[in-house]
Amino acid sequence: MVTTSSKWDVFICHASEDKDAFVRPLAIALRQLGVSVWYDEFSLEVGDSISRSIDRGLAESAYGIVILSPAFIVKPWPEYELRGLVSREIGEDKVILPVWHGVSRQEVLKFSPPLADKLAIDTSHAGSQDVALQILRVVRHDLYSQHPRAWLERIASGQASHELQKEIERMREELENAREELSEFQCPYCQAPLAERISAPADSSQDHWDLREIYDCGYQCFGGQVESACPSDPNFPKFSEYDLEFHHNPEEPYWRWKCFIHPKTITARRLSLSMGLGRTQEEAEMKIREEYDRRSQKYQSKPWHARGPATTRGASSLKAPWPCGCGPVMPVVRQCLFKCICSLLNIPLLNVPR
């Protein structure tokens, strides 16, 4: 009997003396298996009214697991919870799932004859994990029937979660290694991808050659020296680090004003800006400012499918791009992600809604 309106699959009715040895491991195993459990350690918060929370748990749970033990029989709170479950069961098909924990049939019969007539799980023949699997078969048969018992046992024991955690840690390490490999092909300030790597002469006689690297953000370096700054560089030049020089030629038919920009600082020299042309002085200055604003915008990553392939010309140290547009080390990342997806697909997702 499972009602779609129930907030929890099961409510665990127990005595506190049985918590450490049996009830807590049972509740944890049930949660590992995907069963939603009302259990005081999971469900009660500081300041909650105990009686009101228990009443809500009783009313909003599809089943009530009753841990019948010597301590339970003499406790008032468990007996109060049991009466609530019994009143629920009078008008419904099956609500109470009894678990005999260290009691005999005669003791249960003396305590509650209706409970003694119910088919119960006896912990003298089963541990908390096996009890959890038997309960799963009743309360969430949809989950129980989808997976082999051996796999469910691994999940209930926490072994599957431990193996998944180890796999996640291993993949995290692989991704960190891949990130280090990728750093060669990313801007050191904003991680924008390398757009072009060109082999170019380092002197006028062309006796020495070096690599010029250009990144999507505008960062550019040649032989380890910065030629154009990245907007994310904390030392990116401010517009105030430039002087403007205006030339006026009234005989020019259209662009009568030219605006030249001169760097005043070392960092400003790392960002070269073009001359501004305009019909008025204000227009020529505006063209310069527009170019500065465009060059100073920080890089925003594009989706992988929107990126073009990196290009190489005369650079033997950079392999040809992959057809997908990714750099040469991207297969490492793709392999890690593929393993991650495969691992997740091989592990049943048990925490699914009814």
Residues 130 and 206 in one domain: no
| Separation of alpha carbons 37 and 39, rounded Å | 6
Task: Using the predicted structure, report yes or no on whether residue 72 has a pLDDT greater than 50.
Answer: yes
Residue 352 lies in a domain: no
Q: Look at residue 330 in the predicted model and tell me its pLDDT.
A: 42
Residue 326 lies in a domain: no
Predicted confidence (pLDDT) per residue in 330-342, tens digit: 444 444 544 554 4
Residues 30 and 138 in one domain: yes
Residues 208 and 121 in one domain: no
Residues 12 and 152 in one domain: yes
- Position 302, amino acid: K
Q: Look at residue 334 in the predicted model and tell me its pLDDT.
A: 45
Q: Are 274 and 291 in contact (CB under 8 A)?
A: yes
Residue 335 lies in a domain: no
Residues 144 and 37 in one domain: yes
Backbone angles phi, psi at 330, to 5 degrees: -60, -30
Higher pLDDT, 38 or 317: 38
**Given pLDDT bands bounded at 50, 70 and 90, which one contains residue 71?**
confident
Element (H, E) at 133: helix 128-139
Residues 193 and 292 in one domain: yes
Residue 170 lies in a domain: no
Q: Look at residue 87 in the predicted model and tell me its pLDDT.
A: 62
Residue 295 lies in a domain: yes
Residue 198 lies in a domain: yes
Residue among 223, 186, 179, 217 nearest 201 (CA): 223
Residues 201 and 153 in one domain: no
Q: Which residues contact 189 (CB under 8 A, 6 or more apart)?
A: 217, 219, 230, 232, 233
Mean pLDDT, rounded, for 250-255: 90
**Where among 109, 142, 157 does a domain terminate?**
157
- Position 294, amino acid: R
Q: Which residues contact 220 (CB under 8 A, 6 or more apart)?
A: 212, 213, 214, 226, 227, 228
**Given pLDDT bands bounded at 50, 70 and 90, which one contains residue 280?**
very high
Task: Using the predicted structure, report yes or no on whether residue 347 has a pLDDT greater than 50.
Answer: no
CATH number at residue 143: 3.40.50.10140
Exposure string of 260-289, with b = 16+ CB inside 10 Å and e = fewer, is: bbebeeebbebbebeebbbeebeebbebbe
Q: Look at residue 16 in the predicted model and tell me its pLDDT.
A: 83
Number of domains forming the structure of the chain: 2
The three state secondary structure string of 75-118 is CHHHHHHHHHHHHHHHCCCCCEEEEECCCCHHHHHHHCHHHHCC
Residues 249 and 299 in one domain: yes
Predicted confidence (pLDDT) per residue in 298-332, tens digit: 877 655 445 454 444 444 344 433 333 444 444 44
**Where among 139, 157, 175 does a domain terminate?**
157
User: Distances in Å between the alpha carbon of 37 and those of 30, 41, 99, 203, 214?
Assistant: 7, 10, 16, 74, 57
Q: Look at residue 94 in the predicted model and tell me its pLDDT.
A: 60
- Position 237, amino acid: P
Residue 313 lies in a domain: yes
Residue 80 lies in a domain: yes
Q: 88 lies in which domain range?
A: 8-157
312 forms bridges with which residues in the sheet? 197
Q: Look at residue 52 in the predicted model and tell me its pLDDT.
A: 57
Find the catalytic residue in 81, 107, 163, 167: 81
Mean pLDDT, rounded, for 44-71: 69
Higher pLDDT, 2 or 113: 113
The two structure tokens encoding residue 7: 């907030």
Predicted confidence (pLDDT) per residue in 131-190, tens digit: 999 999 999 999 899 888 888 888 888 888 788 888 888 888 888 888 777 778 889 999
For the chain, what is the mean pLDDT? 78
Interhelix angle 149-157/128-139, rounded to 10 degrees, is: 120
Query: Tokens 């909650």 belong to which residue?
Result: 48
Q: Does the annotation count 252 as an active-site position?
A: no
Residues 90 and 223 in one domain: no
Backbone angles phi, psi at 101, to 5 degrees: -125, 90
Q: Look at residue 85 in the predicted model and tell me its pLDDT.
A: 67
Q: Look at residue 118 in the predicted model and tell me its pLDDT.
A: 81
Mean pLDDT, rounded, for 286-290: 94
| Separation of alpha carbons 341 and 17, rounded Å | 43
Residues 244 and 291 in one domain: yes
Predicted confidence (pLDDT) per residue in 113-129, tens digit: 877 778 889 998 888 88
Residues 225 and 107 in one domain: no
Q: Look at residue 316 in the predicted model and tell me its pLDDT.
A: 39
Q: Look at residue 112 in the predicted model and tell me its pLDDT.
A: 79
Residues 79 and 153 in one domain: yes
- Sort 201 into a burial class: Cβ within 10 Å, 0-12 / 13-18 / 19+: exposed
CA angle 196/201/203 to nearest 5° reads 140
